[in-house]
Chains A and B, each alone.
Chain A
Amino acid sequence: MNAVPMSASAISLRAVRKVYPGGVAGVRDITLDVTRGTFVTLLGPSGSGKTTTLMMLAGFEEPTSGQILIDDADVTRTPPYDRNLGMVFQNYALFPHMTVEQNVEFPLRVRRLDADSRRAAVAKALALVKLEGFGRRRPTELSGGQQQRVALARALVFNPPILLMDEPMGALDKKLRQHMQLELKAIQRELGITVIYVTHDQEEAMSMSDRIVVMNNGLIEQVDSPEQIYHQPASRFVADFLGDTNFVTGADLNSLLRAADNSPAPYAAADVHSLRPESIEFHRDGTSKGYGPVTVEQMVFLGDSTRYKVRLPNGNELWARAQNGRYTTPIVVGDSLRIDWRRDHVVSIERSGAGETNLVNQ
């Protein structure tokens, strides 16, 4: 392996498995390659194995089996202090007995850098996170957002090739979180650093990542760009975990289509599809557009948009969502309408059997 020239992978997980004492599986079997310089998010609910994966990357947990490569070097059994990885902890883990400066200086001090280079590097790192002038303060004298910047400066000051982040925005309020996401993304681009970011927040994952790794139950469900993950979910779990969706059967869709023009059913009746609420469009009854009729049974006002529960001709229900103001005649409960949907937004999630034609999905 050493003979091979450096690959594009900053990190390689090969069949990594982690079983905790007592037989609890943290991570069942993970193989993943992370391209150098990309922002990769491990996304999943609690217990999905994302944090365990991060802890194994950092060296705080040892895999039960499998291999972890960083820059093509096997680090599976390397202790954390020899891995040279930056890390931002969930609670920031700033040293309370040190000033901001001393915190940021710590990794340089243990690397035995001389005082001048330390001072220069600390100043540069604090400038990067826009905290000039805060060096003499104690972490407890800072706000949550400022503490996070210190943690980021401390993790970046020694120029690690990889930055690990464990739900670092969890403690921040929404406005600040959105602001920090933008800044973090900008810093990542500026430094060209590889980021592994752990979160259970799908919006956060989609707004920052080049690639999202959706994890569930210790396994990887899908690795893709945010757009692909959202529009082409590979499994029912992914479709359900990211955003809202309808799980509709072929029969549901057929009931609409057939009622309209008596054409042969295009969908296999037992197949399950994911159809995002915003992909559904309403048309007034009486026009030739769309299929129906459907009845609006319930409305949920969301500010910028409204969610509508509609009843299909076959009796099943479906959620649609539309930007407010999109329809000139406002939709009200009890309306009888027709609906249409973008065919390429119907994603087959579960296929019922072999041999049946499937017109949707790619």
Chain B
Amino acid sequence: MGRRVNARHTLPEYRPLMSGLPGAVLNLLTAVALVFLLGPVVIVLIISFSADSFLGFPPSGFSLRWYYNFFGGDPTWLKAFWKSMRIASMTMALAILLGAPAAIVLARLKLRHRPIIEALVLAPLLVSPMIIAVASYLQLAKVGLTGTSFGLVLGHCVLALPFVVMNVMVSARSLDFRLEQAAMNLGARPLVVAWRVTLPLLIPGILTAALFAFLVSFDDVVLSMFLSGIEPTLQKRMWDDLRLEISPTVAAASSVLILVTLVVFAIGAVVNRRMTQRIAGRRRVNMERV
């Protein structure tokens, strides 16, 4: 107990960077930024409970009619939702399968041109999704994959891979290579080392990468417009609705999207924490609880 309390006391105390008028201005700016970031979310949430027949703020009354519409009234919504879930799951799996080994190699090997290779892997972050969408469309059309789920998954993988590679690479870099040396010294052959030591230690990084891959796919609208074909993803369905109907179902759908994102992050946080606990032991957790 004493040790924990001491650990707590060694933490530096928080001191505001500025005080007086500059401090007040800084606080105000922070508040404005928060409102700016969270405002739209709050407004969408409110509209989704609207009783009106069209999008408008503030709503004149409240009801669950648009949620009812989303979850059954109009079956195309739920269908689109499940398609998005499927595509996101497949994107997650494929991006991890491709990205994680690449990340481990990039983190390990002393390649002469590693910065260039890394830049290439991260390039999709810098290129507009629209360009990726057009390019993917043209290439996939040649092999007849436009409008197929697999084609869309391939496209989303391009968007997701930078996140996967970055996350796994950070994990792989912080891995102590002496643990692998120790395993080898104790008689483990390279494959056994990878399976029993390297992989378990990289799981938290891989998990975070997987969540990012899922969300990148789930939140994409641009590639979906080009590649999803006649069965739209949820984002594409929302886009269609905005252009054609503008019913508050879009707001309900948005709320569902936000919820899915929150759930995914929550799962990620919980699982990641469990994993880290397993690796780091109980002591660190105790420190957090103090």
Contacts and interface: CB of A to CB of B under 8 A. Distances in A.
Interface residues of B, number: 24
A80 B280 contact: no
Contact of B182 (A87, A138, A140): A87
B179 interface: yes
Contacts of B178: 89-91, 93
A110 B187 contact: yes
B76 to A, nearest CB: 46
30 contacts: A58-B181, A59-B184, A60-B181, A60-B184, A60-B185, A79-B184, A80-B181, A84-B187, A87-B185, A89-B178, A89-B181, A90-B178, A91-B178, A93-B178, A93-B181, A94-B182, A96-B201, A96-B279, A96-B281, A106-B183, A110-B186, A110-B189, A110-B196, A111-B187, A140-B284, A141-B281, A141-B282, A154-B186, A158-B186, A158-B187
Point out which of A83, A106, A139 has the most chain B C-beta atoms below 10 A from its C-beta.
A106
B185 A80 contact: yes
Range for the number of chain A residues in contact with chain B = 20 to 34
Contacts of B182: 87, 89, 93-95
Contacts of A93: 176, 178-179, 181-182
Given A79-B184, A158-B187, 17 more contacts: A81-B184, A81-B186, A81-B187, A81-B189, A87-B185, A89-B178, A91-B176, A91-B178, A95-B182, A96-B201, A96-B279, A97-B278, A107-B186, A110-B186, A140-B283, A155-B186, A158-B186
Interface string B183-200: 111111100100011001
A229 interface: no
Contacts of A107: 186-187
Contacts of B282: 138, 141
Interface in A73-87: 79-81, 83-87
A139 B201 CA distance: 14
Contacts of A87: 182, 185
A59 B181 CA distance: 10
A20 B282 CA distance: 41
A332 to B, nearest CB: 45
B201 A110 contact: no
Nearest to A157: B186
A154 B179 CA distance: 13
B179 A95 contact: yes
Contacts of A91: 176, 178
A95 B197 contact: yes
Contacts of B201: 96-97
Given A89-B178, A93-B179, A80 B281 contact: no
Nearest to B189: A81
Point out which of A80, A91, A94 has the most chain B C-beta atoms below 10 A from its C-beta.
A80
Contacts of B192: 110
A97 B283 contact: no
Contacts of B181: 58, 60, 80, 89, 93
Nearest to B280: A140
Interface in B247-290: 278-284
Interface in B141-182: 176, 178-179, 181-182
A85 B183 CA distance: 12
A80 B182 CA distance: 9
Interface string A111-150: 1000000000000000000000000001111000000000
Contacts of A95: 179, 182-183, 197
